[in-house]
């Protein structure tokens, strides 16, 4: 995990740039660099993950071209061998050193060739201009805006651009910027023809591709760890990794002091796979104290994202303070592909698919944003096996008639795919889902709502909410988050498209709270 920043014009000095760039020093505390180009600046804060010595420091340069990248390139050793055969030499053990030779060989076509989680800014000496690009899902963050002189500024996080640019925009995933325009180079979610595979073939492919996605993400020169909630997704990632590595892995779980629903399930998984397991217990006071810094780290006012970030932020804080772990694997993106509790209400397979496309396309504003900010705020890198490009593209192409819940069990395809492996206890493999914020403890959400209720009278709520004509707060909790957001990111609410909520147009989903707890089918989830 690193921080990058790039300026297309040199109207600001190095000294003027640094305070903005240092807003994201936690993303790269190991080494820093600000390099002048003929027309602008490239900036890099490094968290060393691959090639740990100084030779892996960026920007990398090649015949006048330069690049800074926050990313992981999978299969890079094979690519490196191929490029060496073309006469290129390499000075480090960093995967990102390959980017400039790839650009020389393939130009802008290289982005569609990458199997990677990345955000990069590249200086092209031949055109004296910057090229920027972001991975197809947006797992690695990138934002942009316009300085007072009309020059573009690219940066890892919105906070780098606050006070520098009037309006901050998220860089669209699966796009590159070159020659003054954004071009989409990858689209994982538009499906013209669904795959004809039968259920057993689909499940076999899901199993194979997820295992491959986990295995790729175990490649690191820095220490690895795993977030383990006790739910299906994180438990599968941990179990697969444990089997591949053939040794104890380090797992971490978090829960409220009074009603930590998932701690017992995480403990059961940890004992089953034989991991070195640690638990973090938090209190109401911990949650309320951390709330402002969580909103500042996230750059969102979305209710679901903030609730779910409280536990993740605090567990990552503990990991940073008490261990040497630098890379964390997580279970994000499974829900968007295989369904939430609310997608059980999808009126048709086509509606399910349309909702999955919307959710995956918008991940960079919600769950992926949450995982990145909560982890990077504590100088750790996030890796997301369910976001493997081959895996996502395959699952999106599966006939939605197989994905909708006609089985009496959500995420049936994923569960059935690993049914014969005995990687997990049966009760975990088939356990009903609990929302992450609820699973940390129902009291976490209740405490946040109670705190918000105490902050505003009904009249104050109406008056203060009416100030916002975009994403207008609709509960006292949402008003609390919006006011915290505005304190750190004034006037930038349009960075987030809307509130993450179940599809209210579906029968059974017209609710005022995003928690699955309010849905009729929640049942005994998480208990």
199-518: CATH class: alpha beta
Q: From edge to edge, which strands make up the β-sheet containing 41-46?
A: 31-36, 41-46, 3-7, 152-155, 143-146, 169-170
Average pLDDT, the chain: 94
Asked if 114 and 74 touch (Cβ cutoff 8 Å), the reply is: no
Asked if 64 and 129 touch (Cβ cutoff 8 Å), the reply is: no
Res. 258 pLDDT band, cuts 50 70 90: confident
Query: Is 389 a residue whose pLDDT tops 60?
Result: yes
| Whole-number pLDDT of residue 523 | 60
Instruction: Name the range with the highest mean pLDDT among 20-29, 257-266, 440-449.
Output: 20-29
Q: How far is it, in rounded angstroms, from Cα 363 to Cα 524?
A: 27
Kindly state the average pLDDT of the residues 151-158.
98
Q: How far is it, in rounded angstroms, from Cα 328 to Cα 392?
A: 20
| Whole-number pLDDT of residue 512 | 86
End-to-end CA distance of the chain: 35
Kindly state the average pLDDT of the residues 209-225.
95
Kindly state the average pLDDT of the residues 493-516.
91
Kindly state the average pLDDT of the residues 367-379.
96
Asked if 153 and 161 touch (Cβ cutoff 8 Å), the reply is: yes
Res. 441 pLDDT band, cuts 50 70 90: confident
Q: How many CB atoms lie within 10 A of CB 524?
A: 8
Asked if 183 and 108 touch (Cβ cutoff 8 Å), the reply is: yes
Q: Per residue in 155-170, pLDDT tens?
A: 999 999 999 999 999 9
CA-based nearest residue to 352, from 393, 304, 388, 402: 402
Query: Is 216 a residue whose pLDDT tops 50?
Result: yes
CA-based nearest residue to 477, from 233, 329, 295: 295
Helix (H) or strand (E) holding 121: strand 116-124
Kindly state the average pLDDT of the residues 453-478.
97
Kindly state the average pLDDT of the residues 410-436.
89
374 tagged catalytic:
no
Strands 169-170 and 152-155: unpaired
CA-based nearest residue to 159, from 172, 143, 177, 138: 143
Kindly state the average pLDDT of the residues 375-382.
96
Q: Per residue in 264-317, pLDDT tens?
A: 999 999 999 999 999 999 999 999 999 999 999 999 999 999 999 999 999 999
Asked if 191 and 37 touch (Cβ cutoff 8 Å), the reply is: no
| Whole-number pLDDT of residue 527 | 47
C-alpha distances (whole Å) from 505 to each of 184, 444, 511 are: 30, 28, 10
Kindly state the average pLDDT of the residues 139-149.
96
In sequence order, the 6+-apart residues with CB closer than 8 A to the CB of 484 are: 291, 292, 295, 296, 301
CA-based nearest residue to 398, from 136, 208, 206, 233: 206
Q: Per residue in 314-362, pLDDT tens?
A: 999 999 999 999 999 999 999 999 999 999 999 999 999 999 999 999 9
With both helix axes pointing from N to C terminus, report the angle between 303-322 and 442-455 in degrees, rounded to the nearest 10: 120
3-184: CATH class: alpha beta
Q: Which of 2, 96, 316, 374 is the catalytic position?
A: 2
| Whole-number pLDDT of residue 516 | 77
Asked if 153 and 164 touch (Cβ cutoff 8 Å), the reply is: yes
Residue at token pair 């060393």: 48
| Whole-number pLDDT of residue 373 | 97
Res. 217 pLDDT band, cuts 50 70 90: very high
Res. 526 pLDDT band, cuts 50 70 90: very low
Q: How far is it, in rounded angstroms, from Cα 93 to Cα 36?
A: 25
Query: Is 439 a residue whose pLDDT tops 90?
Result: no
Q: Per residue in 186-200, pLDDT tens?
A: 999 999 999 999 999
C-alpha distances (whole Å) from 328 to each of 29, 220, 230, 234, 376 are: 17, 11, 16, 11, 10
- Residue spans per domain, the chain: 3-184, 199-518
Query: Is 520 a residue whose pLDDT tops 90?
Result: no
| Whole-number pLDDT of residue 436 | 52
Residue at token pair 């591949």: 244
């Amino acid at each position: 995990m690193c921080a990058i920043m790039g300026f297309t014009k040199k109207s600001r000095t190095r000294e003027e740039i640094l305070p903005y760039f240092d807003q994201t020093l936690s993303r790269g505390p190991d080494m820093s660099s600000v390099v002048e180009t003929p027309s602008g600046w490239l900036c890099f804060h490094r968290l060393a993950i691959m090639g740990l010595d100084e030779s892996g420091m960026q920007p990398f340069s090649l015949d006048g071209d330069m690049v800074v990248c926050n990313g992981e390139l999978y299969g890079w050793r094979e690519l490196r061998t191929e490029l060496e055969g073309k006469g290129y030499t390499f000075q480090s053990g960093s995967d990102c050193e390959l980017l400039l030779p790839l650009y020389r060989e393939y130009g802008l076509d290289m982005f569609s060739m990458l199997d990677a989680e990345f955000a990069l800014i590249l200086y092209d000496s031949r055109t004296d201009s910057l090229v920027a690009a972001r991975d197809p899902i947006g797992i690695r963050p990138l934002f942009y805006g316009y300085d007072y002189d009309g020059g573009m500024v690219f940066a890892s996080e919105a906070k780098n651009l606050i006070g520098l640019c009037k309006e901050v925009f998220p860089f669209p995933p699966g796009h590159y910027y070159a020659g003054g325009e954004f071009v989409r180079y990858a689209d994982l979610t538009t499906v013209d023809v669904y795959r004809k595979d039968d259920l057993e073939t689909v499940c076999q492919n899901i199993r194979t591709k997820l295992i491959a996605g986990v295995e790729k993400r175990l490649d690191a020169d820095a220490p690895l760890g795993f977030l383990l909630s006790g739910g299906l997704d994180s438990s599968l990632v941990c179990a697969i990794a444990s089997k591949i590595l053939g040794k104890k892995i380090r797992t971490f779980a978090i829960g409220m002091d009074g009603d930590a629903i998932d701690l017992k399930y995480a403990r059961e998984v940890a004992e089953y796979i034989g991991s070195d397991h640690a638990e973090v217990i938090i209190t109401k006071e911990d949650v309320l104290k951390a709330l402002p810094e969580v909103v500042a780290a996230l750059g969102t006012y979305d209710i679901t994202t903030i609730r779910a970030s409280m536990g993740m932020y605090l567990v990552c804080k503990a990991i940073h303070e008490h261990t040497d772990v630098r890379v964390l694997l997580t279970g994000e993106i499974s829900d968007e592909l295989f369904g939430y509790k609310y997608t059980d209400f999808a009126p048709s397979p086509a509606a399910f698919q349309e909702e999955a496309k919307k959710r995956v396309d918008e991940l960079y504003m919600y769950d992926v944003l949450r995982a990145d900010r909560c982890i990077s705020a504590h100088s750790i890198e996030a890796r997301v096996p369910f976001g493997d490009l081959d895996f996502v593209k395959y699952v999106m192409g599966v006939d939605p008639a197989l994905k909708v819940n006609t089985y009496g069990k959500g995420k049936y395809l994923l569960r059935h795919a690993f049914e014969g492996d005995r990687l997990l206890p049966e009760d975990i493999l088939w356990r009903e889902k609990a929302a992450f914020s609820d699973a940390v403890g129902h009291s976490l959400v209740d405490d946040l709502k109670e705190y918000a209720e105490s902050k505003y009278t009904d009249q104050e709520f109406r008056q203060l909410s009416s100030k916002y004509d975009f994403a207008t707060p609709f509960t006292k909790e949402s008003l609390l988050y919006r006011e915290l957001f505005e304190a750190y990111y004034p006037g930038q609410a349009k960075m987030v498209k809307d509130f993450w909520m179940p599809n209210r147009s579906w029968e059974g989903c017209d609710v005022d709270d995003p928690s699955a707890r309010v849905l009729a089918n929640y049942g005994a989830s998480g208990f």
